[in-house]
Homo-oligomer: A and B are copies of this chain.
Amino acid sequence: MTNLTLEQAEGWIKKACAKATQLGVKVSVYVVDSGGNPVAFARMDGAGVLTPDIARAKAYTAIAFKSHSKDIAERMKDRPAAALGLTQASGNRVVFLPGGVLAKKGEEIHGAIGVSGASSDQDHECGLEAIAT
Residues of A within 8 A of B (CB): 1-3, 5-6, 9-10, 28, 33-45, 48-50, 52-54, 56-57, 63-66, 73, 76-77, 79-97
In the complex, which residues of chain B have a beta carbon less than 8 angstroms from the beta carbon of A90?
50, 53-54
Contact partner of A43 (CB less than 8 A), chosen from B6, B36, B96, is B6
Q: List 20 A-B contacts (CB under 8 A).
A: A1-B33, A5-B45, A6-B43, A35-B35, A36-B50, A38-B43, A39-B42, A39-B43, A48-B63, A48-B66, A50-B89, A53-B89, A53-B90, A56-B89, A77-B79, A80-B84, A82-B97, A84-B84, A85-B87, A87-B88
Docked complex Cα distance between A76 and B96 (Å)? 12
Number of chain copies forming the complex: 4
Q: Residue among A10, A38, A56 with the most chain B CB within 10 A?
A: A38
Distance of A52 from chain B, by nearest CB (Å): 4
Main secondary structure of the interface of A (DSSP, over half): mixed
Docked complex Cα distance between A23 and B119 (Å)? 36
Q: Cβ of B77 and Cβ of A97 under 8 Å apart?
A: no
Q: Cβ of A35 and Cβ of B50 under 8 Å apart?
A: no
With both beta carbons as reference points, the residue of chain B lying nearest to A34 in the complex is identified as: B35
Q: Cβ of B40 and Cβ of A37 under 8 Å apart?
A: no
